[in-house]
Structure 1
Amino acid sequence: MGRCITVAIAGLGSRGRDTYAKAAKIFPEKMKIVAIADVDPEKVRLTAEEYDIPEEKCFSSAEEMLKQEKLADVMFIATQDRQHVGHAIPALRKGYHLLLEKPISPELDECRELVRVARECDRKVVVCHVLRYTPIYRKVKELLDAGKIGAVVSIMAVENVGWYHMAHSFVRGNWSNSNETSPMILQKCCHDMDLYLWLAGKKCDSLSSFGSTYLFKKEKAPEGCVMRCMDGCKAKETCPFDAEAIYLDNKAAGYRKGNRNWPLDVLVPDGVTEEKLYDAIREGRYGRCVYHCDNNVVDHQVVNLNMTDGTTMSFTMCGFTAEIARYAKFMGTEGEMIVNMAGEIEDNEIVIRRFNADVTEERIDVASLSDDFSGHGGGDVKMIEEFLDVLSGEKEESPYVTSLEQSMESHYCALAAEESRLHGGRVVELDTFRN
């Protein structure tokens, strides 16, 4: 067994505190949190108590933590999108390896500079494209690489964002405004761009894209709605995006339905109760009317990609879906493969139909692939474990670990798609972004 890796965490939001920090409890022999930083003192206090972090290793910002001498082997950077590179570069120069939340940056020059500094400092940087690590997509990769459906000619992929996830994260939440964070196609869908290029072993040559903010704007507001859901809104009873209905009564997310985790712990990080939820809805950003927020990211977008080998992919992201799920159909020279990854394991599937006289069908028992499908279908925990094993010397390398250079391809595609969308869907050559 390799040595235990010490970790400093910059950013204690939903990903930093509620996802990545938990690995220290799952793998206590592999990971120990020794320093933390966040601008929210309550999150710092709660995390320090939970992981026994001494006061002198608790900091009020990533910048304050980065003024210290090197505190750990690796830094997990889970701050806001436009802060990533500003925190990553000084961390690299202090000698930290990095686990970097995606996206790297919405600015290509910053992405390139980070790649240069990481090489100069000879540090490992893993970007959190967690879907590569999930049991279902690892199996898909194995099947495609084995030629199960021949050569992949076309991919049809859909990201079903989910209506209440759209309202929570991308209208009311932290990722609602691309001027403060990043475009939706990068922030949400660089996952998908990385995933499908990797699964099929493809590289994009050119693409075009269309999309807009169709619904979540004041001119689409129903009659009688007000600035906050709890302030006497006359559309409250019929509005699916009513904050009280989502956070209290929604079947998947609601407190009264037994949920105590995401998204409720975003509203109330210090122990979810009904009283605290009502306080957050009445006073905080998550109680605002979805038609009167400061959002500007798209709520739907399509991207058509032409690959360097002449094959194609169509990708759709949409916030108006009943479920939070990813669906893909791989069409090959000898068959097709349908892959569905949803929130409930019983809804996950891999179906293979090979071409012959009868078109035989094979179904993979997804449930048998793992005993843990929590956190992005089992990807969150596996990603951290793989990275820790590489850093500790337990593994030489991992075929799934997403390096900065690998992640850049997904960023080229996403940012080129946004460029195309903003210019009426014009075709964008990817080499203009790479170079």
Structure 2
Amino acid sequence: MAMASSIISGTKNLFRKSNKPKDHPMSSEADTDPITLIVIGCGQRGKAYGRYALTSDACKVVAIAEPRPQTRKLYAEEHKVDATLVFKTWKDLHAASTDTLKTIGKRLADAVLITVQDHMHVEVALAFAEQGYHILCEKPMATTMEDCLRIEEAIHKAGIIFGMGHVMRYSPYSQEITKIVQSGTLGQLINIVQVEPVGYYHFAHSYVRGNWGREKDSSFALMTKCCHDLDIICHWMSPTPPVKVSSFGSLRHFHHRAKPKEAGDATRCLDCPLVYDCPYSAKRIYLDAVSRGNTGWPVSPLVDGVPDIENVTAALREGPYGRCVYESDNDVCDNQVVNLEFENGNTASFTMVAFTSAICERQLRMHFTHGEIIGDMNKYTVTDFKANKTKTYHPANEGGGHGGGDMGLIRTFVEAVRTGNQKLLGTDVDEVLRSHMTVFAAEASRREQRVVNCVEFEEKARSSLRETLAQTVLR
């Protein structure tokens, strides 16, 4: 009871409405109360979504969990989180929530933002769904098909609002294109071609040296980087589902065989003679950025707290971000293509490639029976064949990552929680699961060198989970 009393005294009216049923008629007073949020993981994604709470009265971060002390301290100070609700681990925070639920029957907040490492999503989602928190989960949903299915089941059982970090759906750019697709003004959508230009130094940072470079630590690159690409392709083609998928890809460049001879035996960039001749030099990517005053991404993930020359140098000498990209232990694809056939005969192709100057500025072509759309996430051009007219549009961008998609998602999620309306998000856990299944099917195609039937693939995954659960019960 002591923990619950401490939390209550430190947060005053924090619990006032956190147990309100979704269909409860909200009073005008309740409408003005901010939605309260727990942030599990205060890194780049936690900061991106939390930024909305700093610029809007619609929500407030009231509790956090973050293992890095300086990152935890800075986030708590920025959001003015009471000290009683600042935790080192998500399990500590969950224990506090369990305590308050048992003692006073209240949750710590309305919703949880899950922005921890990918492999942790399932355990955090299951734990907080069971306690009735609404959930916004960063992509991917989980790193295995079984875990995605477990989350789907938990969300249905809890009857909660569920948002997925498929931020591309929520940018002004994508939403304007979605309206055109759904309007039918250009006729039927027949084909989509999308390219994800990851960016040469972005790929080296995240998928060679970083947290997503090894499949065993996270998942394969198509899932960790591109699950929201396949999601939005399926969204634009909906309600027609994909029925067949094929995929090809490999790790072509970031391995020891591609290492320049001039680099010699150097295994770290600070010891390499090719500091200014190698595009992937850690000194160029990180130290030069800090010297120019850039303390944001990609420098900020290297240290706990505010980056400077001294602590970034130390990180490059001792940590993974200072390793030669040709001497790292990465194993995920640096290029991959995916081909989709839909139930009505429509087709789509998607390419992920590391070797680009553009950083995640997707290149899009959409082909309709009476027109086409060409876009790059900043602008798009519409050609109407019937009217013989072409016009270019420049959607507004309120700032934030993914062309405003980050801010669009968190704002929509908060409103969905406030109103108890899952439909505001334009998707639900079932659709999220289906798009993830398409990604898993594509990777199975790449590995097994065959065309995969998406419907059979999903049914096999569901059947396998049912068998696993049945065996668990028998034990």
TM-score (norm 1): 0.91
Report the more deviating stretch, 48-57 or 146-155: 48-57
8 A Cα contact 2:422 2:428, kept in partner:
no
Contact conserved, 1:2 with 1:389, CA < 8 A, in 2?
no
- CA–CA distance in structure 2, aligned partners of residues 75 and 433 of structure 1: 31
Q: In the alignment, does 2:245 pair up with 1:207?
A: yes
* Equivalent-residue separation in structure 1 for 2:148 and 2:181 (angstroms): 30
Q: Report the equivalent of 1:263.
A: 298
| Residues 395-434 of structure 1: pairs in structure 2 closer than 5 A | 396=421, 398-424=423-449, 426-434=450-458
Query: How much has 1:14 moved relative to structure 2?
Result: 1.2
Whole-Å separation in 2 of the counterparts to 1:2 and 1:212: 52
Aligned AA (1:170): Y
State which drifts further: 210-219 or 197-206: 197-206
* Contact 1:225-1:234 within 8 A present in 2 as well: no
**Could you tell me how far apart the structure 2 residues matched to 1:359 and 1:241 are?**
46
Q: Residue 355 of structure 2 aligns to a residue in which SS?
A: coil
Which runs of no fewer than 5 residues in structure 2 stay unpaired?
1-30, 98-106, 460-475
Residues 158-185 of structure 1: per-residue CA shift (max 9 Å, x gap):
0000001000111111111111101110
Structure number with higher helix proportion? 2
- Match for residue 48 of structure 2? 19
How far the C-alpha of 1:385 sits from its partner, in A, is 1.0
CA deviations over 1:126-151 (Å, ceiling 9, x no partner)? 11111111000100011111123211
Residues 367 and 373 in structure 2, CA contact (< 8 A), matched pair in contact too? yes
Report whether the alignment pairs 1:96 with 2:122. Answer: no
For residue 396 of structure 1, report the CA deviation from its aligned partner.
4.2
After superposition, residues 8-47 of structure 1 pair within 5 angstroms as: 8-16=38-46, 18-27=47-56, 29-47=57-75
1:56 aligns with 2:81: no
Match of 1:177 in 2: 214
- 1:98-247 equivalences in 2 (<5 Å): 98-201=135-238, 202-223=240-261, 224-231=264-271, 233-247=272-286
- The residue matched to 1:15 in structure 2 has which SS? helix
Counterpart of 1:375, as a letter, is G
Letter in 1 for 2:266: V
Q: What amino acid is aligned across from residue 385 of structure 1 in structure 2? A: R
Give distance in 1, aligned partners of 2:281 and 2:144: 35
Match of 1:326 in 2: 362
| CA RMSD between the two structures | 1.7
**Compared CA separation, residues 34 and 42, structure 1 to 2 (3 A):** same
Match of 1:344 in 2: none
SS of residue paired to 1:230 = helix
Give the aligned length. Answer: 416
* Equivalent position SS for 1:155: strand
Partner amino acid, structure 2, of 1:336: E
- Following superposition, the deviation at residue 359 of structure 1 comes to 4.1
Rounded Cα–Cα distance in structure 2 between residues aligned with 1:409 and 1:360:
37
Q: Which runs of 5+ in 1 are unaligned?
A: 342-347
Measured after TM superposition, the shift of residue 269 of structure 1 is: 4.4
Question: For the pair shown, which has the larger CA radius of gyration, 1 or 2?
Answer: 2
Cα distance, 1:57 vs. partner?
Answer: 1.4
Aligned mates of 1:312, 1:97 — CA distance in 2: 35
Distance apart, 1:278 and its partner CA: 2.1
TM-score (norm 2): 0.84
> Structure 1 residue 390 and structure 2 residue 426: aligned?
no
CA separation in 2, counterparts of 1:359 and 1:400? 35
Taking the TM superposition and a 5 Å limit, the aligned residue runs for 1:222-371 are 222-223=260-261, 224-231=264-271, 233-249=272-288, 254-324=289-359, 325-341=361-377, 348-356=378-386, 359-364=388-393, 366=394, 369-371=395-397
Report deviation, 1:398: 4.7
| Residues in 2 aligned to 1:175 and 1:45: alpha-carbon distance in whole angstroms | 26
Q: Point out the more displaced range, 319-328 or 234-243.
A: 234-243
Would you say the 8 A contact 1:225–1:235 is kept in 2? no
Query: Kindly tell me: are residues 270 and 289 of structure 1, through their superposed partners in 2, closer, same or farther at Cα, counting changes over 3 Å?
Result: same
What is the alpha-carbon distance in structure 1 between the residues aligned to residue 425 and residue 37 of structure 2?
21
User: What's the offset of the Cα at 1:403?
Assistant: 2.2
